[in-house]
Structure 1
Amino acid sequence: MGVAKERVAQLEYSEFQGAMLDEAKRRRKAAKIIAVLGHFLGSGSTGPGGRPLEGLTVADIGCSAGFIADELAEAGAEHTFGVDIDVPGLRRAAGRFGHRVEFVCADGTALPFPDGSVDVLVFNHIYEHVVDPDAVVAEMRRVLSDTGVLYLGLGNRLGVMEPHYKLPFLSYLPPALADRYVRAFGRADHYYERFRTRRGLRRMMRAFHVWDYTFPVLATPGRFAGAELFPGVVGRLAGAVLAWVPRDVLRLLLPVVPTYLWVATKTPMMPRGARLPQPPERVRPL
């Protein structure tokens, strides 16, 4: 069957993953992130021109070409940082947005910030790409302030369609079989990413207090700038249905939701935004 290739840091990721340079898509993702953060913080308008991050120190961990970091600065952050090991991406980012975002080449396991100095951290679809996600999570906890928030976009191993290679059930497979699968379809020479199940993600975040925004965003995409999740008429109907499906029924779907959208804090905090048809729910630690 063969042996899976050893994982090393993914340097220069933007050079071989074109999605990181899709500006329109990255800015749509940023709008969703900012809307979720604004709701949790109860910090006012999250629409165009809104500044829900007014006066805060914000860092985008895994910023690549900097589009999300730029939107975080536009949302009012007093100090905005973009952190990555993707040197070509950082070079592009600094060239365009360096006048208002400080871009830093640093590994997530050694963030260049003092203890408790960052108000908002963004860690969006990154954990599956790093060699030691648990070490990165521990380092983010170190730099996050006691009243700070961490936004998490977390891919699920049990999501049916693997998001990077668009092959069904790819992430279900052990590494050696996954390598053969991506090679057979000409997508890559090996499968690098390592996803976790919801249970594994809960374990990864056990040192935090976590609120799950997955269903609130899916059920009210207009409120959370999440129209990309449900395009077209069918999507709007799906969102309307989700808005009123009982929470106990939705819980049955949680193990196979492709992406979880969580907000984590070091100390117990409650979402401060207006009540939603599907409100955020606590993620219980293991």
Structure 2
Amino acid sequence: MNKKVVWVATPTFLYRNYLYQKIISKLPRNYKFLLIGTGSGYFLEILQKRGFQGTAIDISSESVSCVKKILDKNKIRVKKGDILNYQSKEKFDLIFSFEVIEHIKDDRKALSNMYKLLKPGGKLIFSVPAHMKAWGRMDEIGGHFRRYEKTSLTELLLKCGFNIENFWSYGFPFLNVIQRFSKTGMFVKNFNHGISVSEKTKKSGIRTDADPRFSFLYSNKILLYPFFLIMNFFIKTDLGFGYLVVADKKIKTKFSNILKSIHNNYAVFNDEVLDVKGRTMIARQIIKVVSIYRNNTIKPNLMKILDIGCSSGIITDYLSKEYGQVVGIDVDKESINSAKSKFKNKNLNFLVKDGSKTGFPDSSFDVIIANQIYYCFLRPKDFFDEVYRLLKPGGICYFGGRNKYTLWDAQYKLPLLSVMPRNLSDFMVKTTGRSEKFEAEYRTYWQLEKMCNKFIVEKITPKAIHNYKKFGFEKFKKYRLLFSSIPEFVWAILEPILPNFVWILKKM
């Protein structure tokens, strides 16, 4: 009797899906999606559980039939279709295409059609295998026409009209080792090699030919998670064997911006500034703290607010629902233009300005938000002096900033950068593909105190850790029993070595 062999999730499959979920966790759930290539339906089930609605197409009738059985047809429509000629009156906020484009001979035509199917500003999120030098028997078995190089894929996306937001190279170092063995096809059983590329493509997403021996090891998410975290350090390099790309539909892309993008090698957006859920939580926190310390003689709907370093504008927009007039400024013109196109409240304005020399008149604002921005200035003291100048007497600044003595850099997602020699910091961020060099210049608790000597400073950090609810620090909720059990004065003693500070700076 032949032993039945069943499909099992491989480490590569699990890591890719870990990255996919990391991206979609930050997307609004009211977005309409199109998924190209249903596969086993694993990712569609994730989308369904998260509340997304949309359409999925696949060239394989067998795949479509299998996936329909596991999904709610009222939320996700699954049908047979080919992206080369697929048409829809409905335009989509998101298009997903994972390990599909390499199966298509005319990939430019496929990407161009994806561009047409997206709404303006919509996002294409896709993955493809990387580096032709890694070509192997598994590519032939899977019906691939090619593997991609970063430069050629970048050029292809530009030609199709896309603007690249995020370009990850995944798999290094651990999955690269596995890939060296798997590319030979030695682990694939009972696969018919005498079929056309088209038929191989149809079968590739639903093959049940993987050898399940030792699957309890290589399909164990908990066991693999530490390896995932290590691989995350290298996703912004070009060392992996697969690419995961986020690109958006930009109707008019100036030639100068294209050149700039090529020159910068498509520097990745900081995930945090696009995280709607996370930024909204911070906005609520700011409003809560400001409500405690603001000038209570002025009603919120009459207050004038300045958000310095507004970036994506998510926080600024949220503030505009609470206060009378809100202005967001940033030196990044593209971020400001994007924020203007997304957020239209009448009491909200976005401007391109330098936070250390804004040009606003003296005493213009009741409240200034300066959250995680001071270290972006060459001379932070000039920045604090500008904040003081802009505040009305009795006005306050919500100041949030990172400590020089921090073990983990949240911006670069690497350890100990701010305390090690600058040459070593530069080497680490460049080697891991984070940036050309480490550009943040964090200050110590005492240095920041000195820079803020014009203000009356109220230290919020110890109070908020001890009593998260009062100050709206929702991220501390899961640690509330531990944090609240430690007296506030202990947190005050520890503040100089805490990773972040939140202070209220008041102008008298």
Is structure 2 residue 23 aligned with structure 1 residue 23? no
Kept after mapping to 2: 8 A contact 1:57/1:119: yes
Aligned length: 243
In 2: Cα distance, 1:191 partner to 1:53 partner: 39
The structural deviation recorded for 1:253 is 1.1
Counting aligned pairs with the same residue, the percent is 30
Aligned to 2:344: 98
Identify which of structures 1 and 2 has the higher relative contact order when contacts are C-alpha pairs closer than 8 Å and 6+ apart. Answer: 1
Kept after mapping to 1: 8 A contact 2:407/2:499: yes
Aligned to 1:197: 444
Aligned to 2:485: 241
Within-5 A mapping of 1:16-165:
16-41=269-294, 43=296, 53-75=300-322, 77-100=323-346, 101-165=348-412
In 2: Cα distance, 1:225 partner to 1:14 partner: 33
Kept after mapping to 2: 8 A contact 1:150/1:263: yes
The C-alpha deviation readout for 1:148-183, integer Å capped at 9, x for no partner, is 111100110002211112222111123222101223
The structural deviation recorded for 1:58 is 0.4
The C-alpha deviation readout for 1:91-145, integer Å capped at 9, x for no partner, is 1211122333111111112213211111000000001122222111111111110
Is structure 2 residue 507 aligned with structure 1 residue 266? yes
Q: For residue 366 of structure 2, give the secondary structure of its aligned residue in structure 1.
A: strand
Amino acid at match of 1:211: E
Kept after mapping to 1: 8 A contact 2:303/2:324: yes
Is structure 2 residue 491 aligned with structure 1 residue 250? yes
Distance 1:102 1:140, change over 3 A: same
Q: TM-score of the superposition, structure 2-length normalised?
A: 0.45
Distance 1:132 1:246, change over 3 A: closer
Kept after mapping to 2: 8 A contact 1:58/1:118: yes
Kept after mapping to 2: 8 A contact 1:153/1:262: yes
**Which has more radius of gyration?**
2
The structural deviation recorded for 1:35 is 0.6
Bigger mean CA deviation after superposition, 113-122 or 163-172: 163-172
Aligned to 1:9: none
In 2: Cα distance, 1:216 partner to 1:21 partner: 28
Kept after mapping to 2: 8 A contact 1:26/1:67: yes
In 2: Cα distance, 1:252 partner to 1:54 partner: 38
The structural deviation recorded for 1:231 is 4.9
Amino acid at match of 1:114: P
What value does the CA root-mean-square deviation take over the aligned residues?
Answer: 2.3
Q: For residue 418 of structure 2, give the secondary structure of its aligned residue in structure 1.
A: helix
In 2: Cα distance, 1:15 partner to 1:183 partner: 13
Amino acid at match of 1:262: W
The structural deviation recorded for 1:56 is 0.3
Kept after mapping to 2: 8 A contact 1:14/1:20: no
Q: For residue 123 of structure 1, give the secondary structure of its aligned residue in structure 2.
A: strand
Q: For residue 412 of structure 2, give the secondary structure of its aligned residue in structure 1.
A: coil
In 2: Cα distance, 1:18 partner to 1:58 partner: 25
Amino acid at match of 2:330: D
In 2: Cα distance, 1:262 partner to 1:93 partner: 27
Distance 1:43 1:219, change over 3 A: farther
The structural deviation recorded for 1:263 is 0.4
In 2: Cα distance, 1:90 partner to 1:159 partner: 30
Distance 1:173 1:41, change over 3 A: same
Aligned to 1:277: none
Q: For residue 116 of structure 1, give the secondary structure of its aligned residue in structure 2.
A: coil
Kept after mapping to 1: 8 A contact 2:366/2:391: yes
Q: For residue 255 of structure 1, give the secondary structure of its aligned residue in structure 2.
A: helix
Kept after mapping to 2: 8 A contact 1:20/1:64: yes
In 2: Cα distance, 1:99 partner to 1:251 partner: 39
Q: For residue 36 of structure 1, give the secondary structure of its aligned residue in structure 2.
A: helix
In 2: Cα distance, 1:31 partner to 1:66 partner: 14
Q: For residue 16 of structure 1, give the secondary structure of its aligned residue in structure 2.
A: coil
In 2: Cα distance, 1:179 partner to 1:153 partner: 25
In 2: Cα distance, 1:39 partner to 1:127 partner: 23
